[in-house]
Structure 1
């Protein structure tokens, strides 16, 4: 009897397993699983994650190298290598991966061309942040791990990356088509689905990239700049490339490039504070405050640049937590003011005709007026702006002095956009406060240990073509 029961169970077992197997896939499929992401949700996620925790490198490395801030315990020129890695380690596997996913899923689909074009411009922008910081980096194969199984992307030469970014943006600009499926206004946090503004932004980025290569290949730079200006760049502050964040959200506290400056006790440098104070710059009270919240320009005091300083922290200026250093403060990736400054530079170089002085003053005025995005405490009275502009000296007949003044104003404008401030200093050499600093300040960031551990051969190839993986190796466009 017992044997018969066991035999019956064994006979029934396959039937039971077959029944389980029949519904196994359905039972184990998550109702929340997304196999085809919704592009309308992907676009704003990418825009909000253009920094994605890379603020660690933003503050602890690039902000210091910009010479505008430093930690109160910093007494050298170089930070630890770990602080250089966050930009690379957070942007590639997250932001760049997501934007490449959009590109891969929409390419070749005529109805989705506007999503593809928007993502292509954002990819070029994100890659530019990587290559300007590190030099040769993954570009052509970046972000293709999920879509094409490229787990160990090759590193492209920076010169080729620049050619690729410019071509990619131009192709995207030409592809926008109002007759095809629209990117919803709510999905596009930057331009609300306005493709004309995206085109202006794309050409403005090309203008930036063209001027970036002005030392290493001036003739090519000239042609790129001329075409960008001809094709149409930003014309007003409303055209600026700005991401706004809602308060008390993940993106405002974690993904925002403004996050954490005061939390980690960063101070504004004496050279930055003194420059603004001596010029009676109306932006000083917007940029800075004492730890007690006092924004009076006369009491602001900076921490000595790259020196030990025993001054009480209570007496040293920090980023203003009511404006720039708010966790939910908007972040300016590129502004109309920068376009005006670059236009003035092109005119000073004789590449295009026009009044460099006029565009220079438009750039200063635009940047001061743009401070309104930080709220009431960012507004500057028109009379103060007018007085400041009148006090500026910009003599086109003295190009050396004019370039210095132009580059100084650009450096001030890049407050908080420290990726650009560091790149700007390397390209122009302005400001120059101390020859010892000029001689010893980093020229690039080193590759993260994670890349050495997992993508070793490609990293080795990169340093073979670029130079040793150290902070004093110059990137392609940073010609002496």
Structure 2
């Protein structure tokens, strides 16, 4: 691929100090495997997944983690101060945009190009599901994005933008197409080249169905009728959903490490992220034992051993006292930056969609009256799935019985609040962008506060990513930059 975007990305990668060291084995940004027409699907597929993991686990994770207030900028460092001030530079978004458009989506098109040939249907099935997933990332982050003119075969350096409603229509079609193509009995299908599910097409069906449910519910506030109809159509197929996390795993070897940890390697192992008081106070109010999975105490000796503290969001100019040192994001989420953490932070997985999320999505659909089931059971299954994923399954029953935020009200809005709040806890440090998106959609959890370093004023919070500088300066059909607090189409609350 010889597009201007690809060339710009290549230059950026070659000169950037951070951000692209993870998943190098599967993502060679200097030469996409879709270059030769004869490239094997077994080489193209892991490139798509490595690129998705890079974006979800690094750029989107950092912004989502900070704007969901799981994390805040460390007082002894400075990397994310502009993010905390809500003043990111448009150039900060060049890399994720470039990876998704110029590598991942181009490679996905190769996977789905032969969907009509039996031999390639399983690769095409994954490709369609991945395409839906990637476009949801893009449109949820940026709003209107190029779609129709990016699928015309030849590179288009100046694509027009499509309305977000149109993008969502396509997301639903592609995800359903992928599910319909998936056939676990096919004799020719991925194996170890599928770094998410190792070629298990039943799991890809579950992923696709869960994605369909997520995408339909994203429309709940802007087009409830369409959301309800989509969910009804989905449940009419007797769908199965994820019961285990869809994730990409990494190794401690440089170049194949967790993307968030890889960023810290590029930054000289500086610990830029610390725990936000917003999330910490909420976990503590519920006596939630998961706090010790998501965060790492600064105290290893003395009376305060193991205690977890947070820091006020955006208050990076105030040094904490020695008795309230804020915790670090734990190695379980790739957030501990120390050079000795490659074997722990470096191998933390990137979660694409979690089992807990799947249960909470089903619970919300039932709570809204758009699907059949028992909302309380699904709600508790979501909590249990999160506790299981964090190695705390035995603690789930006591938490469900006693935690204030684990109680399910009788009214619909109260149930939605409880479901999204629990989803917020479950996504801590692992699905930061999705947690931020759900906050924008629903207004929950309702305890987020503006950063004290905010430059937006009037209690405003970030509602979108800025369009990348590469689009602003080089696409002659670019429709114009948005403000950080301009809402995307589905964000009406």
Q: TM-score, normalised by structure 1?
A: 0.81
**Any idea what SS the aligned residue of 2:138 has?**
helix
The answer for the alignment partner of 2:427 in structure 1 is 414
Cα distance in 1, alignment partners of residues 95 and 56 from structure 2: 5
The answer for the alignment partner of 2:272 in structure 1 is 265
**Any idea what SS the aligned residue of 2:380 has?**
helix
Aligned CA distance change for structure 1 residues 323 and 425 (closer, same or farther; 3 Å): closer
Alignment counterpart, residue 429 of structure 1, candidates 443, 447, 462: 443
Q: Shift of residue 55 of structure 1? A: 5.1
Q: Shift of residue 434 of structure 1? A: 5.6
Cα distance in 2, alignment partners of residues 381 and 181 from structure 1: 38
Cα distance in 1, alignment partners of residues 427 and 448 from structure 2: 20
User: Contact conserved, 1:56 with 1:86, CA < 8 A, in 2?
Assistant: no
The answer for the alignment partner of 2:38 in structure 1 is 36
Cα distance in 1, alignment partners of residues 459 and 94 from structure 2: 23
**Any idea what SS the aligned residue of 1:170 has?**
helix
* Root-mean-square deviation (Å): 2.7
The answer for the alignment partner of 1:72 in structure 2 is 74
Cα distance in 1, alignment partners of residues 426 and 282 from structure 2: 13
Cα distance in 1, alignment partners of residues 95 and 328 from structure 2: 23
Alignment counterpart, residue 455 of structure 1, candidates 450, 455, 475: 475
The answer for the alignment partner of 1:275 in structure 2 is 282
User: Contact conserved, 1:341 with 1:359, CA < 8 A, in 2?
Assistant: yes
Moved more, 209-218 or 59-68: 59-68
Question: Quick check: 1:440 aligned with 2:440?
Answer: no
Question: Quick check: 1:388 aligned with 2:390?
Answer: no
Cα distance in 2, alignment partners of residues 156 and 293 from structure 1: 53
Alignment counterpart, residue 250 of structure 2, candidates 242, 245, 265: 245
User: Contact conserved, 1:336 with 1:366, CA < 8 A, in 2?
Assistant: yes
Aligned CA distance change for structure 1 residues 351 and 451 (closer, same or farther; 3 Å): same
Matches within 5 A, 1:194-209: 194-209=200-215
Cα distance in 2, alignment partners of residues 312 and 246 from structure 1: 36
Q: Shift of residue 271 of structure 1? A: 1.1
Alignment counterpart, residue 301 of structure 1, candidates 309, 334, 352: 309
Aligned CA distance change for structure 1 residues 328 and 434 (closer, same or farther; 3 Å): closer
Question: How many pairs align?
Answer: 426
Aligned CA distance change for structure 1 residues 152 and 279 (closer, same or farther; 3 Å): same
Cα distance in 1, alignment partners of residues 151 and 347 from structure 2: 28
User: Contact conserved, 1:72 with 1:267, CA < 8 A, in 2?
Assistant: yes
Alignment counterpart, residue 110 of structure 1, candidates 102, 118, 121: 118
The answer for the alignment partner of 1:479 in structure 2 is 492
Q: Shift of residue 224 of structure 1? A: 1.2
**Any idea what SS the aligned residue of 2:149 has?**
coil
Cα distance in 2, alignment partners of residues 260 and 268 from structure 1: 18
Alignment counterpart, residue 386 of structure 2, candidates 367, 386, 391: 367
Following TM superposition, the consecutive aligned residue runs of length 4 or more in structure 1 with deviations greater than 6 angstroms are none
Aligned CA distance change for structure 1 residues 99 and 263 (closer, same or farther; 3 Å): farther
Q: Shift of residue 451 of structure 1? A: 0.8
User: Contact conserved, 1:55 with 1:259, CA < 8 A, in 2?
Assistant: no
Aligned CA distance change for structure 1 residues 49 and 149 (closer, same or farther; 3 Å): closer
Q: Shift of residue 64 of structure 1? A: 1.4
Alignment counterpart, residue 124 of structure 1, candidates 121, 132, 152: 132
Moved more, 108-117 or 157-166: 108-117
Between structures 1 and 2, the one with greater helix share: 1
Cα distance in 1, alignment partners of residues 185 and 332 from structure 2: 43
Cα distance in 2, alignment partners of residues 405 and 54 from structure 1: 26
Unmatched tracts of structure 2, length 5 or more: 1-34, 76-80, 336-344, 452-457
Alignment counterpart, residue 170 of structure 1, candidates 168, 176, 181: 176
- 1:8-28 CA-partner distances (Å, limit 9, x unpaired): xxxxxxxxxxxxxxxxxxxxx
Cα distance in 2, alignment partners of residues 175 and 113 from structure 1: 6
Cα distance in 2, alignment partners of residues 218 and 322 from structure 1: 37
User: Contact conserved, 2:294 with 2:332, CA < 8 A, in 1?
Assistant: no
**Any idea what SS the aligned residue of 2:177 has?**
helix
Question: Quick check: 1:142 aligned with 2:150?
Answer: yes
- 1:316-348 CA-partner distances (Å, limit 9, x unpaired): 111112554312211111122112111111222
Cα distance in 1, alignment partners of residues 173 and 134 from structure 2: 15
Question: Quick check: 1:224 aligned with 2:230?
Answer: yes
- Considering only CA atoms, is the larger Rg found in Structure 1 or Structure 2? 1
**Any idea what SS the aligned residue of 1:186 has?**
coil
Q: Shift of residue 447 of structure 1? A: 0.6
Q: TM-score, normalised by structure 2?
A: 0.79
